[in-house]
Structure 1
Amino acid sequence: MTQTLGFDATTSSKFFFEEEHHMLRAQVRRFVEEEIKPNAEAWEEQGATPRALLRKMGELGFFGITYPEQFGGSGMDERATVVLAEELGRSTYAGVAITALVHTDMASVHIFNAGNEAQKAKYLPRVISGEIITAVGVTEPDAGSDVKGIRTTARREGDYYFLNGAKTFITNGVLGDVYCIAAKTDPKGHPSQSVTMFIVEKDTPGFTVSRTLKKHGWNSSDTAELSFVDVRVPAENVLGQEGRGFYEIMKNFQNERLVLGAMAMGEAQAAIEMTVQYVKDRKAFGAPLWDKQVIRNRLAELSTKVEAGRQMLYSTAARTAQGETLVREVSMLKAYCGELVNEVMYACVQYHGGMGFMRESAIERMSRDARVQAIGGGATEVMLEEVAKRM
Structure 2
Amino acid sequence: MTTSSSRLIPVQQLERIFNPIEQATGLANEFYTDQRYFELERDEVLGKTWACVGFASDLVKNGSVKPIDFMGLPLLLMRNREGLVQVFHNVCSHRGMKLVQEEGEVQGVIRCPYHSWTYDLNGKLRGTPHVGGIDNHKDERFACEKHGLKPLRSSIWMDMVFINLSGDAQPLEEMLAPLTARWSQFLGDEGMSLLRRRPGQDATTLDINCNWKLAVENYCEAYHLPWVHPSLNSYSRLEDHYNIMFDERFAGQGSHAYNLSDVAGTHLPKFPSWPQDRLRNAEYVAFFPNVLLGIQADHAFAMQLEPVAPGRTLEHLRVFYVGDEALSDEYAACRNAVLESWKVVFAEDISSVEGMQKGRLSPGYTGGVFSPVMDVPTHFFHQWAARQLLEITPSA
Normalising TM by the smaller chain, what interval?
Answer: under 0.3
When normalised by structure 2's length, the TM-score is 0.26
Which structure has more strand as a fraction of its residues? 2
- Computing the radius of gyration over CA atoms, which structure comes out larger, 1 or 2? 2
| Larger RCO, structure (CA 8 Å, separation 6 or more) | 2
Which structure has more helix as a fraction of its residues? 1
